[in-house]
Structure 1
Amino acid sequence: MLVYNEVETRLQRNEEIRGNAAQAARLAASEVERIIEGLHGLLVAVASMPAIQDLDAAACDRALRSVASSVSNIRTIFVTDLKGHPVCGSVEPPSGVRFADRDYFRQALASGRFVVGTYTDSRMSKGAVLPVAMPLMKEGVAQRVLVTGLRLEWLQDRIAERGVEGGNAITIADSKGTILARVPNPERFVGTAIPAAFQHLIYADLPGIIEVTGQDGIERILGYRPIKLPNNPLYIGASISKEEAFAPINRATEVNALSILGGALLAFLAAVLIGNRFIVRPIHHIARVMGDWRAGRTDVRTGMNPAKDELGAVGATLDSLLDELDARHRQAKEAEDERDLLSREMAHRVKNGYALVQAIARQSFAKSDPSRYAVFSERLTALAGAYDLILTREAHSADMSETIRKSLRPHHEVDASRMEVTGPQVSLPAELTLALSLVVHELGTNAMKYGALSTDEGRIVINWTLKDRRVLLTWQESGGPEVTRPNARGFGSVLIEKAFPAKYQAKSLSTYGTSGLIFELAFSLPGDPADDHPATSFQAARAQSEDDAIENPRKASHS
């Protein structure tokens, strides 16, 4: 139990850590998105200032200095012309400086939209920044470019304020894999590239969670958010140290291991010192009594004193149980005799009920419509035969072979050699017995009227197979008149389709060939997994049936 609890606890803790890593990455990504969106909003607001729109250099310098002094996460903000030369800004630009070679500058002009750059050493402030740029558009044409940069030390402080537990880490990187901020140890990682083995995560299709060994040698569970996600301009990774996360569980494991060892030692000593005398011998005595009982000596008892000790109470209780089992055996025998009597009485009453129904039918329409009465009488006889099979098996099951043979008894005038019934022994429950008997009777009736049994040379072969608890029955007629697919569905067709309950997954196929009808029926025995696909043989038979229908029209039909 302790080992099971240990494994289960570790699995649960591992899933919890993975969830925490993913959540930490989502929160960090959300924070970065708000920061970038704030810079975007700042540039939009600055672009709408009159001094910027009028391109008044002096007024522009004053406005931008005011903005830079009031916004703590940027160092400088300036406007350049389309060739990258500063026009105005919050600081005096170094002589000859230009920005046309910067990737973010070219992307802003090409796209006409707000652009986030990559890790950059600023030419204006001489510090590391994450540059952003936005073209100033007029009538759809870029006139100037507004540029600023997010201070990376400010971003570092912002991430550190969130707090990271010992052994855990948060990493923010640009589109080239350069680390912009890292908690902890920023001085070691900021400005360096993410290892090549993890570069593919930057542009992954979806966020994910993996187990990694970091550059600091610590095993972690990493939750990451790739740049490819909408509104996510930077790669975010949040990792949790497995050693720190599993430390409480490891301590509990040590305590449990010591507990197991101590308990095993005490148990061993107890077994050696007192177990043999007070436990083993009484248990062996009880076991011998149970062995004798199984061997048929139902009169044996332990004879143990319940007042002596706990095992004495167990032995005495066993004696009481054996006495009760004897009594129950006698009661079960009496109940079985009574059930047999009731079963015979029920069979008698069911037969009387069928006889009464047949008498009513005979009085009602035997004279007025003798042909319909004959059909009804045969079907009722088949149903009665099926119930007779079930009742003779005490309402539990009936043999498939006997069910088929009894369902064909109404056609007893046919030579037995013209009917072949073969197949393995299959025990059918009551529902299947009734359904199968009705279907077989209907097939036999049709064979007498239209099929193989309507001629002197006709013959019927009935066989079935059993595989994986699924029965495949084939009714094949030969030597009879040619048959075709019927134009209308009669009572027999509906009966064959509807006789089986849905839970047995029954499927049937009728093939109308040159030599006679071939009827295939498949159904599952109780306890089978559901099988929604017809047997392969049904597919082949269906194809053959369609070919026959095109090439060889028939004259006769089945109901």
Structure 2
Amino acid sequence: MKFKLVAVAVAALVPVVGMLGYGEYAIRQERGAEVRAQAAQAARQASSEVDRIVEGLRSLLLAVTSMPSVRHLDAPTCDEALNSLAGNVPNIRTIFVLRPDGSPVCGSMEIPAGTTFADRKYFHQAIETKAFVVGTYTKSKLSGEAVLPLAMPLVEDGAVVAVVVSGIRLDWLQNRITERGVAPGNAVTLADGEGTIVARVPLPERFVGTVIPDGFLKLIHAEQPGVVEVRSQDGTERVLGYRPIALPSSPLYVSAGFSTGEAFAPINRSTIINALGIAWGALVALVLSFYVGNRVILAPISRIGDVMRHWKAGNTEARTGMKHSDELHAVGAALDDLLDQLDARRSEAERSEEERMLLVRELAHRVKNGFALVQAISRQTFARSEPERYRSFSERLTALAGTYDLILAREGSASSIKDVVQAALKAHASDAGRISFDGPDVVLPADVALPLSLVLHELATNAIKYGSLGVDNGTVCITWAADGGRVDLRWVEAGGPPVTAPTSKGFGSVLIERAFPSTFNPRSTVDFRPDGLHFDISFGCAEP
């Protein structure tokens, strides 16, 4: 019972826990959507800033290609102009002009003799495409520092006559990304078309110049921007918004990652507080359920249970003594009233039982007297003139009387089928080994027990006259089974003389066929086999 009280307390907490759980789920779903939107927005902002930087330098290089000294490849004048220009642009270190063979023409700083840029991939792309090119992570041949190279071809009459080259300083780009500010746990990454990281916050010293892992390379050339949940290289779980290079005018891959731990930290703290509150409430509820349950519920129930156990043990004077103060005490008071009535009824039943037993004994005496009177009349009527018919009638009457004795001895209206079989065959079973029977213990109503005893008696009589019981080694096997409210009984004779079907029906055959009331839906078959009679009968075994 205590466990049931605990179950009641738990059941009372289930709706609260369910509502809190649903609220927690809804808040987390809402926060997840918010974080994804913020990651996508942060990636767009970072990408837009990079696009503005690159577009500004593109315009600068385009302007350089329009300078007369550059167009005429006037080295002295070009050196002076580019030197003056580079000093005023903080995000680049050098600007120089190259011939189509990769040799320098002029620049913002002195270029060592013999230096060539013919091996640079971005240089060849600018000549082949005749368009502005943003290269990949490169170590500058002039300064030795990491740069993101830019190339603008100078085209005249459809031919490239020179290429203006510069490069974004990656230290300046890194400072620019850092100055934007990144919340703890978040990250911003810029990478070139080959997946090399050119700027990153945080931990730039660890990642700048390294290649993005293979699992993320597919994002660089994705067809559309998107948001994914990943574990970053630094081991942090993040919601990552990314902008691929495949977008128009997007020279760099940009990603902005929001730490799920930081994003969900307030919700996690709230969850812990709520869980502790629920646990504390559950503990208090369980303690109160034990205390209140013991005093208000278990004690009265235990008292009622004790009275019932004493009553069962024979102490009919046991009572709860409860009054109608509450529901359980009302049950106890009702139990006392019930026990009083049962005690009175028990006394009345004992008196009625004594009267019934007297009537049963009187009925048994009168039935036996009736059978004795009928037998005496039959003996006086035709015992001398028709002794064979008298003997047959007397045996049938004896079988019927035996079954009545069985029913009256059980003091009821029903008898076991096994007892009916034994009583019906008692006069024919002098040799116990010759008659065998087997089947479940089925109780038959009187309307079935009486005709069954007559049928068995007739079968046994015929077996003595014409069948297996008329010879020394003949046997009879009786089996039955019960299924679906019906009994299927089989009589099988063996070891007797050869059997032939009778040419006419005698009284016994008619009795066998018509003994059972039609209300029990009897069905019987007789098979006169040469090796012995096979008789099957099926009938209902319940009151119709």
Partner of residue 183, structure 1: 201
Per the TM alignment, residue 278 of structure 1 is displaced from its structure 2 partner at its CA by 7.2
Q: Does 1:270 align with 2:292?
A: no
Partner of residue 15, structure 1: 33
**Which of the residues 88, 92, 96 maps onto 2:114?**
96
Partner of residue 153, structure 2: 135
- The number of aligned residues is 289
**Which of the residues 35, 60, 66 maps onto 2:53?**
35
Q: How does 1:516-531 map to 2 (within 5 A)?
A: none
Q: Does 1:200 align with 2:221?
A: no
Q: How does 1:195-344 map to 2 (within 5 A)?
A: 195-274=213-292
**After superposition, what is the alpha-carbon deviation per residue over 1:24-65, rounded to whole angstroms, capped at 9, x for unaligned?**
111111111111101101101112222222221111001000
**After superposition, what is the alpha-carbon deviation per residue over 1:134-153, rounded to whole angstroms, capped at 9, x for unaligned?**
11112222111100000000
- The CA distance in 1 between the partners of 2:200 and 2:155, in whole Å, is 36
Q: Does 1:58 align with 2:71?
A: no
- AA partner of residue 220 (structure 2): I
**Which of the residues 70, 74, 96 maps onto 2:88?**
70
Per the TM alignment, residue 176 of structure 1 is displaced from its structure 2 partner at its CA by 0.5
- AA partner of residue 250 (structure 1): N
Per the TM alignment, residue 269 of structure 1 is displaced from its structure 2 partner at its CA by 2.6
- AA partner of residue 36 (structure 1): V
Which ranges in structure 2 are unaligned for 5 or more consecutive residues?
A: 1-18, 300-323, 327-544
Larger radius of gyration: 2
Partner of residue 148, structure 1: 166
- AA partner of residue 243 (structure 2): R
**TM-score, normalised on structure 2?**
0.51
Per the TM alignment, residue 275 of structure 1 is displaced from its structure 2 partner at its CA by 6.0
- The CA distance in 1 between the partners of 2:258 and 2:297, in whole Å, is 52
- The CA distance in 2 between the partners of 1:278 and 1:264, in whole Å, is 20
- The CA distance in 1 between the partners of 2:287 and 2:252, in whole Å, is 65
Say which SS state the counterpart of residue 95 (structure 2) adopts: strand
- AA partner of residue 270 (structure 2): A
Identity percentage over the alignment?
Answer: 58
- The CA distance in 1 between the partners of 2:232 and 2:226, in whole Å, is 17
- The CA distance in 2 between the partners of 1:44 and 1:108, in whole Å, is 13
- The CA distance in 2 between the partners of 1:272 and 1:44, in whole Å, is 86
Say which SS state the counterpart of residue 44 (structure 2) adopts: helix
- The CA distance in 2 between the partners of 1:39 and 1:273, in whole Å, is 80
Per the TM alignment, residue 276 of structure 1 is displaced from its structure 2 partner at its CA by 7.4
Query: Cα RMSD (Å) of the superposition?
Result: 2.6
**Which of the residues 103, 109, 120 maps onto 2:127?**
109
**After superposition, what is the alpha-carbon deviation per residue over 1:106-131, rounded to whole angstroms, capped at 9, x for unaligned?**
01001111011000000122110000
- The CA distance in 1 between the partners of 2:145 and 2:290, in whole Å, is 78
Per the TM alignment, residue 170 of structure 1 is displaced from its structure 2 partner at its CA by 0.5
Partner of residue 144, structure 2: 126
Per the TM alignment, residue 249 of structure 1 is displaced from its structure 2 partner at its CA by 1.3
Per the TM alignment, residue 277 of structure 1 is displaced from its structure 2 partner at its CA by 6.8
- The CA distance in 1 between the partners of 2:67 and 2:296, in whole Å, is 98
Which ranges in structure 1 are unaligned for 5 or more consecutive residues?
A: 282-303, 309-559
- The CA distance in 1 between the partners of 2:80 and 2:298, in whole Å, is 99
- The CA distance in 2 between the partners of 1:112 and 1:219, in whole Å, is 43
Partner of residue 187, structure 2: 169
**After superposition, what is the alpha-carbon deviation per residue over 1:159-218, rounded to whole angstroms, capped at 9, x for unaligned?**
111100111111000000000000011000000000011111111111111111111111
- The CA distance in 2 between the partners of 1:86 and 1:95, in whole Å, is 9
Partner of residue 353, structure 2: none
Say which SS state the counterpart of residue 167 (structure 2) adopts: strand
Q: Does 1:5 align with 2:23?
A: yes
- AA partner of residue 30 (structure 1): S
**After superposition, what is the alpha-carbon deviation per residue over 1:217-276, rounded to whole angstroms, capped at 9, x for unaligned?**
111111111111111111111111111111111111111111001111222233333467
**After superposition, what is the alpha-carbon deviation per residue over 1:302-352, rounded to whole angstroms, capped at 9, x for unaligned?**
xx99xx9xxxxxxxxxxxxxxxxxxxxxxxxxxxxxxxxxxxxxxxxxxxx
- AA partner of residue 136 (structure 1): L
Ranges of 4+ aligned residues in structure 1 off by more than 4 Å: 275-281
Provide closer, same or farther for how the CA distance between residues 66 and 256 of structure 1 changes in structure 2, counting only shifts above 3 A. same
Partner of residue 157, structure 1: 175
**TM-score, normalised on structure 1?**
0.49
- The CA distance in 2 between the partners of 1:88 and 1:124, in whole Å, is 13
Higher relative contact order by CA 8 Å / sep ≥ 6: 1 or 2? 2
Say which SS state the counterpart of residue 223 (structure 2) adopts: coil
- The CA distance in 2 between the partners of 1:133 and 1:156, in whole Å, is 21
- AA partner of residue 272 (structure 1): F
